[in-house]
Structure 1
Amino acid sequence: MDTHTGALTWLAQGAASNLLDRLVDRALDGSPPTPAWPRPPKTAAGTVEITVRHHAAAKGRTPVILTLQENGSRTGTVFSVVLGNTARIAVPGGDYFGAAMVVDPRRRTLQGIGWSRLTVAAHRTSPCLIPANRPTAPVLLQLGLRKADGTPLFRL
């Protein structure tokens, strides 16, 4: 399993455990205070500005589930944002992997999925754009986007 598949599978497993509803609610109700990275930094902190773009974005405020992982880590942190808005996150300097899922909570459909690698420089702001594309059935199967009973987590 490559890094992309592992990170997106980790994100999907989190979404499957009732996290989807809470993250969507938080994205639509307003952003929480700026999150800090969950571990003490080994290097000086930097800031990453992550924006998710989707070519066929729905009208209105479309929620996005965003995850950020350090390279080589098997865990990450999940954030909820609104499509097109920029999330500013303070993290220790280093290499990261960001993944995004654009969802429609009313119809419980996955509208887009994307990922990007990024490097955060200490004491600097690093921009990151994650392009989200329409998912396909083979991609969903590869990522394991299924509930515990085997039914799909999202409709396409």
Structure 2
Amino acid sequence: MSTELDRVRLRRWRKRGFYSETALVKLLQKKGYNAVRIPVSNPSLNPLPDIIARRGPHLYAFEVKNATYYAYYPKAQIDKLFRFLDQFIPSGHAEKHAVVAAHLGKKWLFREISWTDWEKDKIPEKVRILKRDRGNLNVDTCYQSDM
């Protein structure tokens, strides 16, 4: 009985993540980004983000969480964003952005993680976004002068 309940909970949890990822892709496309969801993103060691988006010369790798009041991003997930950008995107760091995105009800919060922090291993074990926080990335206005 408990295994069936666990399966139902797992399915519901995965649907929440899928919903937030597809909602973010639609939001980014509406704002002028080319964005796609990576359907094979999973908790494996593969350096794959949940979403890749491009606007002008800038490329964004997003890790997306759906939560009610706060979202946590383990250091390993953030590391995967930087490894993806570093290994597969042949441009300078100024055009590559690792972003954690929290879908908190109807509110989205975005926080760009610094390349310097990643290179100096200064990323905390868990990055947290609270509903009352302010993000440091605005998808409406960021890097528009480069378009």
More strand by share: 1
The normalised TM-score by structure 1 is: 0.31
Higher relative contact order (CA 8 A, sep 6+): 1
The normalised TM-score by structure 2 is: 0.32
